[in-house]
Structure 1
Amino acid sequence: MSEISILITLAFIIFASPYIAKIIKIPTAPTEILLGILFGAIGLLQDNASFKVVADIGFYYLMFLAGTEVNLKVFITTKREILKKSILFLALLYVLSTIAIFTFDINKIFIIITPLISIGILSTLYKEYGKDEEWLNMAMIVGIIGEVVSIALLTVFSAYLKYGFGTGLFINLSALIGFLVVTTLIFNGLEILFWWYPSVKKILMPSYDKEEKDIRLSMALFCFVIAITIMLHLKVVIGAFIAGTFIPTFFEHKKDLPHKLSSFGFGFLVPIFFVYIGSTVNLEALLNIEILKNMILITIGMIIVRLIASTIFIKNLGSKGIILFGFSLSIPLTLLIATAAIGYETNYISKDLYYSFILASLFQAIVCMVFIKIVSALKLDKNSN
């Protein structure tokens, strides 16, 4: 009966969440988490091993989809000035976060959590604002670099909690570095192969075929790279993300492929992940003043450090642009949830702090999306200071 109630509830949420999101005027992903909290509280989404496995697959697929938004060749055409400012922006996030953590003597996990960047929700902004907004294109470039750094640090953090400072951590870091080096060599090798034999691309992914070879190859990459990361005892998210980057980087002729993959993911697997996360949150957490206070402080802190660091781009984007840029990079929904889950599962953070992070991920998405809509409607001179 437990699995039947979960399936029926998931069927309702997957179908109804976009309509409910439109009514309550918040993004679909936070709506799915809120529905998970609600239906979990009334006992329709009970703790279940199969439910968790499918939710994990949904998360890995979400990171895979995030990778499909990343064409690594974009860094070849991006101006050096922008790349330098992007790296400086990320460095400032970590410096400001570290200063704040030691100044106020709070849990060291915030050094990793506060600067987290994920382009999962960021990529959805293109659907509403288009691809001609300079602040959004700049945010995507910074977001790509930031997500890679965030995932790498999440992998290191997870290894530290598992092994501590010792041989195990050193072996895990060596495996991570080796994996990234080999991946880079594979990327370079494929670049040479496809340059000499461009027809190979069309063989692997024909422009038109009746057997969906493009999706089959994508799923094969997804499964294969994840299998490698599991063998190396690395975080699966980094493998899923890297697997996704192969698609736009080498098969740019398949412009509809990311959309096809995304339709399946956001229509089925990804909502299950968000609903599961919601089901792990006790409804009473919404009534706990301390948890709500932490949620607000986490949200404000993460937004403030980004707005301060965004001033680096004032000459490029203007005052309105850097506000939009800062808010758009303040929605690390998936990685914030993943980091909180790792901290809680390893007893590094308390259950109350875990709930605070989950609720903060929701609150950030709602607040930032609303502010972006308000600020984007304002008529400000781009060059005003």
Structure 2
Amino acid sequence: MCRRLSLSSELFLIIVFLSAFLAPLFSRILRMPVPVGELIFGILIGNFFVGIQVPEILNFLSDFGFLLLMFLAGLELDFNLIEKADKKQNAVYISYVLLIFLSAFVFGILLGIGTAPAIILSLISLGLMVATLKDMSVLEEPFAKKVLLIGVFGEIISLLALTLMEKLLHFHGFVSLIKELGVIFVFFFSFFLGFYLTRLLVWWYPEIVNRLTYEEDPSALGIRLSLFLMFTSSIFAKLAGIESVLGAFMAGVVFSYFIREKKDLEEKLSSIGYGFLIPIFFIKTGMGMEVAGLNLAILFKVFIFLAFMLFVRLIPSFVLLLAGFSLKDSFTAGLLLSYPFTLMVAGIEIARRGGALDEETALALFLTAAFSSLVFPWSAKIILSRR
């Protein structure tokens, strides 16, 4: 058994910030995604140091990092890919993503996994997948662009799935659920319409556009606008009875839809987010994972979850044959979509706050997110190297 230590909250903060600095170096040495390394550092801190009252500033930074993580997840969507793609292909890709969630729901019931874990295990995120494709220098190849397009649809549907899951956690009857879903629809539609009307006003006043294209102050206006949208959407989402982080995700999606030339802004926000705030969130999340109770039963559950993640993506992959994929490419696409680390962590946090996960299942899902981000990218790289 590990010996637990106690120390002052000030020194504790220094250790957390030092961990945020060391995590990328640690991750690079062990060839793992940086967020996984940050989660591991958080686990180590949380299980070695005890009796410490977490400073409020750490909670604030963690919550801020969570919001920014979800905003960036929405911002990374490339709607240009959707518009350039063939409509028939888009229909096939959407069908494939929907079949992933349908398969997860059905097999989740049959295997007794539960609704919330099934939804979490079927989420799709672009972040680590893009990193894998970049690392293999295939990001500009036709196959990679097709998988990225599936990922775009996957993230949008994942947003809807997380929202539905959050509502199901507070299920109080069918009529109540319909009303709450109606509120969600009105919120999303109103936010989209508000942004659309704002863009029309900006179009009529081009001098405002010049200000927002960073010609005078590239580092201030774009970031201020992004954070304003992120916080505004989060606040209104909370008022509408939706998780604030889902509001931030929606803000990123809408921003990405209307503002197509956003590369510079995305890089600046990523520097702020992944440079400091988001690592604090992952470390803080890891601190809440109690591994003292880790046993063979939990590890077996992790194995089942990993198999489930891959299974629900590979079974429907035959649909991709209709879009010109070969059997090998269909399998590779399923593999590339099987490690949505950031959205999985977000989904687990939402489910935990809603009381839908016990600590054992939450721990198993966190470990699944970590292991999937190690095993599946490695497997995908082997297949991509032999294309």
Q: Give the TM-score of the pair, scaled to structure 2.
A: 0.88
Aligned match of 1:28: 34
Matched, 1:370 2:378: yes
Moved more, 152-161 or 258-267: 152-161
Aligned to 2:303: 296
Q: Which of 274, 278, 300 is 1:266 aligned to? A: 274
Contact 1:5 1:44 in 2 (8 A): no
Segment drifting more, 149-158 vs 172-181: 149-158
Using the TM superposition, name which of 31-40 and 340-349 deviates more: 340-349
Contact 2:126–2:151 (CA under 8 A) maintained in structure 1: yes
Residue 191 of structure 2 is matched in structure 1 by: 183
Instruction: Name the CA shift for 1:86/1:47 in 2 (closer, same or farther; >3 Å).
Output: farther
Separation in 2 of the partners of 1:108 and 1:246?
Answer: 28
The alignment partner of 2:331 has SS state of helix
1:1-385 equivalent positions in 2, closer than 5 A:
2-43=8-49, 46=52, 48=54, 50=56, 51-125=58-132, 127-130=134-137, 131-165=139-173, 168-190=176-198, 192-193=200-201, 195-209=203-217, 212-285=220-293, 287-314=294-321, 316-378=324-386, 380=387
- CA shift at 1:126, angstroms? 5.0
Determine what percentage of the aligned residue pairs are the same residue. Answer: 28
Going from structure 1 to structure 2, the CA distance change for 1:64 and 1:332 (only over 3 Å counts) comes to same
1:15-45 alpha-carbon deviations (Å, 9 max, x no partner): 1111111111111111111111112111179
Deviates more, 1:27-36 or 1:86-95: 86-95
Gapped regions of structure 1 (runs ≥ 5):
381-385
- 8 Å contact from structure 2 (residues 99, 316) kept in 1: yes
Deviates more, 1:28-37 or 1:228-237: 228-237
Does the 8 Å CA contact 1:71/1:248 hold for their aligned counterparts? yes
Distance in structure 2 (CA, Å) of the matches to 1:316 and 1:175: 39
> CA, structure 1 residues 11+114, in 2 after alignment: closer, same or farther (shift >3 Å)?
closer
- Amino acid in the other structure paired with 2:63: D
Structure 1 residues 247 and 119, CA, compared in 2 at 3 Å: closer, same or farther? same
Structure 2: distance between partners of 1:207 and 1:250: 19
In structure 1, C-alpha distance between the alignment counterparts of 2:275 and 2:328, rounded to whole Å: 34
Structure 2 distance, partners of 1:312, 1:172, is 33
Q: Quick one: distance in 2 between partners of 1:128 and 1:325?
A: 16
The one-letter amino acid of 1:8's match is: I
Change (3 A) 1:84 1:265: same
CA contact 1:66–1:241 (8 Å) conserved in 2: yes
* 1:96-149: CA deviation from partner (whole Å, max 9, x where unpaired): 223322333342334422321122333433542453033332232222222222
Distance 1:180 1:72, change over 3 A: farther
Q: CA deviation at 1:175?
A: 1.7
TM-score (norm 1): 0.89
Distance 1:47 1:141 in 2: 45
CA RMSD of aligned residues (A): 2.5
Count of residue correspondences = 378
Q: Which blocks of at least 5 consecutive residues in structure 2 are unaligned? A: 1-6
- Partner SS for 2:44: helix
Distance in 2 (alpha carbons) for counterparts of 1:254 and 1:332: 23
Give the drift of 1:166: 5.7
Contact 1:40 1:46 in 2 (8 A): no
User: Quick one: which amino acid aligns to residue 173 of structure 1?
Assistant: L
Amino acid in structure 2 at the alignment position of 1:3: S
Aligned-partner residue type, residue 23 of structure 1? I
Question: Could you tell me whether the CA contact under 8 Å between 1:62 and 1:120 is conserved in 2?
Answer: no
Rate the CA distance shift 1:53–1:2 in 2: closer, same or farther, 3 A: farther
Q: CA deviation at 1:168?
A: 4.9
